[in-house]
Amino acid sequence: MDASFLDLLMAQQEEVTEAEGGGGIWVVADVVNGEIAPVTLEAIGAARNLAGALGAYVYAVLLGDGVSDLAQTLYQAGADGVRVADHPSLASFAVEPYLEVLTALFQAEGPEVILFGATRQGQELAPRVAQRLGGGLIEHVTAMTLDEATRTVQAAVPIYGGEYFEVVACPQARPQVLTVEPGAFPMPFIDKYRKGEPRMVEVAPVEPRVRVLGPAEGFTPPEVPLAQAPVIVAAGRRAGDFSLVERLAAALGGRVAGDRGARDAGWIGADKVIDLRGVVVAPQVYVAVGIRGDTYHNAAVENSRFILAIHPDPTAPIFRLADLCIEADPQEVLPALLSALEA
């Protein structure tokens, strides 16, 4: 036979029966550079855990122009139903057009819980959606549990720069609106065999109050916060020539950081120390150059998608965490990497 038994079995399970709507847990998708943002997929994974306890469906909402094909990614991540608002007026994010679509949809569907990413779009929309619907708002959520008796989400949020976490809830207000921190929740399994037919949402064009006229002259936008950087190259005591670390970060389009040893050496400031007591990160790629990896550092990077560690000590704790380990002096490895990247 050409097809394996597993292929045939999966083929029988690929079509999702579209959920009818009403109640449930909803995730509002972020689209970045024509792709579903990772935080959206993480939020769907978190929503599935809540839905299992509530006996509810998970829905995703996708807004933009020419974004209908992206709906299948949301099904593959675990959505039971997808609503798509595809219209030229939604091509670029603006508060008023997006808010009008979401408010009308949620007033009709009556969701129990609405999840946004704690991104610029999510932070703009979530409080306004909560206010219009008379719901409760919890921002920057890093963990969630459920009180099944009251169907109330109990969320952990960082305070004092992540030194402590506070558990908060909205026991009376509905819907419960939350923004989830990028990297705080694991990426769900993406089932390529899973697919569905999204429902289109009618869009009435709304003129935004704020319009983009063009780039500002003489203005340099602020850097992306280190905690949200997709690529990070971090130095430790054994990094050697720090200028090579900076060149590697530039070649990868990433941010420079380090552990407390790098700070003690004067290479970085306190705002770039990756540590449970400093900055907790979850980039797509994390390169640890000469970092031995103590408990505080490793806990702060354990949610990274891919970790490359370069260190001469084979017993360095960072090697137990890394996806790819290079046991060598960084001064020997970095020039070769840079030669390949900068060629």
pLDDT in tens, 318-336: 999 999 999 999 999 999 9
If DSSP codes are grouped into helix, strand and coil, which group holds residue 95? helix
> Structure pTM?
0.66
Question: How far does the chain reach from its first CA to its final CA, in angstroms?
Answer: 47
Q: Please write the tens of the pLDDT for every residue from 190-212.
A: 999 998 999 999 888 777 777 77
d(CA 168, CA 143): 11
In a domain, 148, yes or no: yes
Q: Please write the tens of the pLDDT for every residue from 214-237.
A: 777 888 877 788 988 999 999 999
Q: Please write the tens of the pLDDT for every residue from 250-273.
A: 999 999 999 999 999 999 999 999
Q: How many domains does the chain have?
A: 2
User: To 10 degrees, the CA torsion angle through 179, 83, 33, 301?
Assistant: 40
Sheet with 143-147, strands from edge to edge, namely 143-147, 152-159, 164-169
Is there a single domain that holds both residue 169 and residue 289?
Answer: no
**CATH at residue 169:** 3.40.50.620
Is there a single domain that holds both residue 83 and residue 177?
Answer: yes
Q: How many other CB atoms are there within 10 angstroms of residue 122's CB atom?
A: 25
pLDDT of residue 161: 64
Is there a single domain that holds both residue 50 and residue 155?
Answer: yes
In a domain, 1, yes or no: no
Q: Has residue 22 got a pLDDT over 90?
A: no
User: To 10 degrees, the CA torsion angle through 176, 140, 101, 98?
Assistant: 160
Question: In the predicted model, what is the mean pLDDT of residues 172-180?
Answer: 94
Is there a single domain that holds both residue 187 and residue 235?
Answer: no
If DSSP codes are grouped into helix, strand and coil, which group holds residue 206? coil
Structural domain for 143, as ranges: 18-200
d(CA 67, CA 88): 10
Is there a single domain that holds both residue 166 and residue 72?
Answer: yes
The candidate with the shortest Cα–Cα distance to 63, out of 22, 24, 21, 105, is: 105
